[in-house]
Amino acid sequence: MITYLYWLLVGTVVILALFGIGVRMGKWKPATIVALILLIAGTILYYFWLQQVFVKHYGGRMSISVPEGQHHIAATWKEDNLWIENYDPETNQCIFSEYSRGNLLEGRVIIKNCSPLMPSGTGKPSPGAMAP
């Protein structure tokens, strides 16, 4: 919901710039430039700062896909960055991937010989224990 309100606010500011400068003052070229600058600035602000803040604190929405061939294990927040744990059965590795603001400076931790899918009651993984 908060995401929709943000985009409504950005759209309103862009329309007000077009109306205020273009219609009222009759200067359409500066109005278009200002509107485009506001739209680009609002988009950059959202994707590089506000998206994960909205999702974590205010119930916003975002989508992340599990890479092909991997199994999702867990997700957690560390400050305003989302960490996803996936398991790659081909390499027997657990992969922690960070989704930071704007997808810049993303961290990645790989645990080798992870074997997280173990049958209940045993402490050791068995070769055929992995679920499809």
pLDDT score of 123: 43
pLDDT score of 129: 47
Domain ranges of the chain: 2-58, 71-112
SS3 string, the chain, reads CHHHHHHHHHHHHHHHHHHHHHHHCCCHHHHHHHHHHHHHHHHHHHHHHHHHHHHHHHCCCCCCCCCCCCEEEEEEEECCEEEEEEEECCCCEEEEEEECHHHCCCCEEEEECCCCCCCCCCCCCCCCCCCC
**Segment 26-70, tens digit of pLDDT:** 888 999 999 999 999 999 998 888 888 888 888 777 788 888 988
**Segment 5-29, tens digit of pLDDT:** 999 999 999 999 999 888 788 888 9
pLDDT score of 36: 95
Instruction: Indicate yes or no: pTM above 0.75.
Output: no
pLDDT score of 101: 67
